[in-house]
Amino acid sequence: MDFMTELDSRRGSADARAQAVNEESEDVAKIESVSVCTARVPLDVPTSFATRQVLARDYALVRVRTEDGVEGIGFCYGGSSAGALVAHAVRDLLAPLLIGQDSLGVERLWEKMYQEALLQGRAGAVIRALSILDTAIWDRNARAVRLPLYQYLGAYRSGTVPAYASGGYYLPGKTPQMLGAELAGYVAMGFKAVKMKVGLLGEREEEERIRAAREAIGPDILLMLDANNAWKDLPTAQRFVRRYEPYDPYWIEEPFSPDDLDNHRRLAQSTPVPVATGEIEAGRWRFKQMLEMEAASILQTDAAVCGGISEFRRIAATAASYGVKMCPHWFHDLHIHLVAATPNADFVEFFPDSQVLNFRRLVDRQLAIKEGGLILHEGPGLGFGFDMEAVKSFALEPWHRIGAEGAARARA
């Protein structure tokens, strides 16, 4: 056998082996089923912020299973009522597209779901459904290779991730001094940054609360202020923020409706306090508009809202080119991995108790705190699962499983 014949033979054998490996990989990674459930978890005490009071929270939960038995999970907040809309979008619109597909083709599956959802909604419940399915697929793929999700995504950090303690809600009878004691308690836990709610009360009352908070935590702790879309016009927002400025806020969060980007930009131009927003925005194009307008200097992109892990990564990369930081909103269990894998991400938002972010009651493992940061899970994928007994106790309906037959009916 001459050299060229032998070389062609070796190439043929290598190609055949590669094809066999690829075919085997696709077989085991094919999505066999998607299961979805809505859980409603009541708050022990009705809790208020600037624009509404919350009595319960609805969470949409999904499990994506492949033919090799590996399962990934996804989840989102569906609202304080009618959270089952997210589950319906999973069950009736998006899950049927995934059955029989290769879970390793994450980008292709994202595009497929996005195109299918164009008419039903490029934001809100439908994009949240897409987000949690995308998250579950990433989680499944990381679990299949037995890597923590942050390593699978390309670890930028290891060990611990910076976090801020989120709280400071309005409760009946809660005085400014009680608020200060709450935030000082977070500092005693080791946190170097804390967040409180603003915007519900009048100017003088709000200033009393912020003053009490700053006096309780001292001058060196970062103090974030969250207005939850409190203000309707620029002059009102400016009056409040001017009162806040002497207390050195690290940011003012969501001062206006998320659709009012012009006033976000105007406020950002008129105060030294950085404007942070984006927690209920969806899609890279909307965030690009925000960046081009300089409507925010900190993006609070939520992977369970914006389009999943896939879209979060695109948004973060775009923000990096503008020199803008990412500080994702909510779900520390998910966002610890994304902050750990994103160079321009600064903080995870952490809820020290299970009262407000009561999703904590639905999972089987909690994050640990170390020196003001959160310790990364080293188990595969997200590093935790649903507590199925807890989910059952809060479920609005049993888990609904979509397999090959269900997908075929949906497509018929």
Q: Annotated catalytic residue: which of 226, 260, 281, 311?
A: 226
Alpha helices (H) in 307-383, listed in sequence order: 308-321, 332-340
Task: Specify whether the CB–CB gap between 400 and 87 falls below 8 A.
Answer: yes
195 is an active site residue = no
Instruction: Name every residue whose Cβ is closer than 8 Å to that of residue 101 and which is 6 or more positions away in sequence.
Output: 30, 31, 109, 112
Instruction: Name every residue whose Cβ is closer than 8 Å to that of residue 202 and which is 6 or more positions away in sequence.
Output: none
Q: Annotated catalytic residue: which of 32, 58, 206, 253?
A: 253
Radius of gyration of the chain (CA): 23
Report strand pairing: 52-66 vs 71-79.
antiparallel
27 is an active site residue = no
377 is an active site residue = no
Q: Annotated catalytic residue: which of 134, 254, 302, 311?
A: 302
d(CA 279, CA 329): 6
Query: Does the CA dihedral 123-383-299-314 come out positive or negative?
Result: negative
Instruction: Name every residue whose Cβ is closer than 8 Å to that of residue 108 and which is 6 or more positions away in sequence.
Output: none
Calculate the alpha carbon distances from 391 to 73, 359, 386 in Å.
13, 10, 7
253 is an active site residue = yes
H/E stretch holding 162 reads strand 160-166
First to last CA, the chain: 56
Instruction: Name every residue whose Cβ is closer than 8 Å to that of residue 361 and which is 6 or more positions away in sequence.
Output: 41, 354, 387, 390, 394
Retrieve residue 344's tokens: 């321009």
Q: Annotated catalytic residue: which of 102, 279, 333, 349?
A: 279
Query: Does the CA dihedral 335-341-342-348 come out positive or negative?
Result: positive
Coil vs helix vs strand at 193: strand
Q: Annotated catalytic residue: which of 192, 197, 325, 335?
A: 197
226 is an active site residue = yes
Q: Annotated catalytic residue: which of 264, 329, 337, 377?
A: 329
Catalogue the active-site residues: 197, 226, 253, 279, 302, 329
